[in-house]
């Protein structure tokens, strides 16, 4: 017989990983872009 | 497409588009996830675990769409020698790998209460894991070729070969026996209730906007790094030339 598991810890874990992971990806990409563009502008024309 | 080959022209549309895509993506994905978590009813058979759908399906779609982006960029690089194609391929690899990994993790979290197992070596799950390894291989290969100054056509060829796995993922549930359910959507038909369809569509559109924004930001970063290195090299050459002229004048 299969055990019945409380589904909420699995749902909350999936949402936490998805939301935090996506925000980290977006933030990291934004910071990398700003840093690279500042370096390019600092290197002059 | 060649109209955007000029980095200046690319930046003229990428700069204003990035914040709009970010704002739209955050609003749509955030709203859809909140809706999915709090407003959508529990499903008759799967109960509350069905809420993972609003993360799992967009992640699966973007994992495959990411590789299609790499394949399209690889084709543009090999056939038309499009100057931004290698940058576009490299930019799509990391978010594609992230969403593939997210699809595997959320699928595992869904599978444990729904199927009674974290993992099963069946066609759909295994082909998705292969896609993650393909991404990791592509990232390593493109970084190595960029670092060593080798031809960017090497990762492009890898990107084109890897696309074979995308139809395998899609048709795996119909080709082989699978514990994974068959597609809920096919052309013009849906096996899903409207209460789930609307937030799923909003979530998929929101995450797609975020994916596009991340690809644009990573393209801008890679382009800026290339331009900065070119400028620093030119300045170093000019400084060497000036020093040589001073030495000749002194002698």
Chain A contact present for B238, CB below 8 A: no
Task: Give yes or no for residue A1 having a pLDDT over 50.
Answer: no
Instruction: Take residue B143 and report the two structure tokens written for it.
Output: 């970084």
Q: Do A11 and B221 touch (CB under 8 A)?
A: no
Q: What is the pLDDT of residue B57?
A: 95
Q: Which residues pair with B43 in a beta bridge?
A: B47
Q: What is the pLDDT of residue B4?
A: 59
A-chain CB neighbours of B222 within 8 Å are 36
Please, what is the average pLDDT of chain A?
A: 90
Please, what is the average pLDDT of chain B?
A: 89
Q: Is residue B2 within 8 Å of residue B20, measured between CB atoms?
A: no
Q: Is residue B48 within 8 Å of residue A8, measured between CB atoms?
A: yes
Rounded CA gap, B213 and B234, in Å? Answer: 31
ipTM value of the model?
Answer: 0.91
Top residue of A2, A4, A6, A7 to mutate, by most chain B CBs within 10 Å, is A7
Rounded CA gap, B26 and B207, in Å? Answer: 8
Q: Which of B219, B211, B190 is nearest to B28 (CA)?
A: B211
Rounded CA gap, B193 and B11, in Å? Answer: 42
Residue pLDDT, tens place only, B239-251 = 877 777 777 777 6
A-chain CB neighbours of B94 within 8 Å are 25
Determine the residue of chain A that is closest to B58 in CA distance: A18
Secondary structure (DSSP) of B31-99: HHHHHHHHTSPPBTTTBGGGGGHHHHHHHHHHHHHHHHHHHHHHHHHHHH--TTHHHHHHHHHHHHHHH
A-chain CB neighbours of B238 within 8 Å are none
More confident residue, B6 or A15: A15
Q: Is residue B223 within 8 Å of residue B7, measured between CB atoms?
A: yes
Please report how the helices B153-162 and B53-80 are oriented relative to each other, as an axis angle in degrees rounded to 10: 130
Chain B contact present for A33, CB below 8 A: yes
Chain A contact present for B222, CB below 8 A: yes
Give the mean model confidence (pLDDT) for residues A31-37.
96
**Residue ranges in chain B modelled with pLDDT below 50:** none
Secondary structure (DSSP) of A1-45: -PPPPPSHHHHHHHHHHHHHHHHHHHHHHHHHHHHHHHHHHHT--
Chain B contact present for A24, CB below 8 A: no
Q: What is the pLDDT of residue B247?
A: 78
Q: Which of B217, B216, B207 is nearest to B26 (CA)?
A: B207
Residue pLDDT, tens place only, B61-90 = 999 999 999 999 999 999 988 878 989 999
**Number of Cα atoms under 13 Å in the Cβ half of residue B92:** 24
Chain B contact present for A40, CB below 8 A: yes
3-class SS at B190? strand
Instruction: Take residue B149 and report the two structure tokens written for it.
Output: 């100054």
Q: Do B37 and A11 touch (CB under 8 A)?
A: yes
Of B33, B48, B231, the CB nearest to A19: B33
Task: Give yes or no for residue A13 having a pLDDT over 80.
Answer: yes
Of A14, A25, A44, the CB nearest to B52: A14
Determine the residue of chain A that is closest to B110 in CA distance: A10
Top residue of A8, A11, A28 to mutate, by most chain B CBs within 10 Å, is A11
Distance of CA B32 to the CA centre of its chain: 20
Q: Are strands B185-186 and B189-190 parallel, antiparallel or unpaired?
A: antiparallel
Q: In this complex, how many residue pairs, one in chain A and one in chain B, have their CB atoms less than 8 Å apart? A: 100
- Phi then psi for residue B190, to 5 deg, are -140, 140
- Which residues 6+ apart lie within 8 Å of B143 measured at CB? none
């Amino acid at each position: 017989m299969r055990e019945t598991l409380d589904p909420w810890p699995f749902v909350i874990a999936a949402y936490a990983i998805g939301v935090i992971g996506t925000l980290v990806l977006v933030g990291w990409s934004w910071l990398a872009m700003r840093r690279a563009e500042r370096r390019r502008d600092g290197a002059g024309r | 497409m060649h109209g955007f080959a000029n980095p200046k022209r690319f930046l003229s549309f990428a700069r204003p588009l990035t914040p709009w895509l970010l704002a739209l993506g955050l609003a749509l994905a955030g709203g859809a996830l909140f809706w999915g978590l709090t407003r959508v009813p529990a499903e008759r058979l799967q109960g509350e675990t069905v809420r993972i759908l609003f993360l799992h399906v967009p992640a699966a779609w973007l994992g495959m769409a990411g590789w299609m982006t790499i394949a399209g960029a690889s084709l543009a690089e090999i056939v038309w020698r499009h100057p931004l194609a290698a940058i576009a391929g490299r930019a799509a690899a990391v978010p594609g790998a992230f969403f593939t990994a997210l699809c595997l993790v959320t699928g595992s979290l869904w599978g444990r209460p729904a199927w009674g197992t974290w993992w099963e070596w069946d066609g759909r799950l295994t082909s998705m894991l292969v896609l993650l390894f393909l991404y990791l291989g592509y990232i390593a290969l493109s970084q190595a070729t960029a670092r060593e100054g080798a031809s960017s056509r090497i990762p492009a060829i890898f990107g084109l070969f890897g696309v074979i796995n995308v139809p395998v993922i899609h048709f795996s549930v119909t080709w082989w026996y699978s514990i994974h359910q068959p597609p809920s959507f096919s052309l013009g038909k849906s096996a899903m209730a409207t209460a789930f369809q609307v937030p799923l569509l909003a979530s998929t559109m929101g995450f797609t906007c975020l994916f596009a924004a991340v690809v644009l930001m990573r393209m801008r970063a890679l382009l800026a790094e290339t331009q900065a290195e070119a400028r620093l090299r030119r300045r170093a050459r000019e400084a060497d030339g000036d020093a040589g002229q001073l030495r000749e004048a002194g002698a």
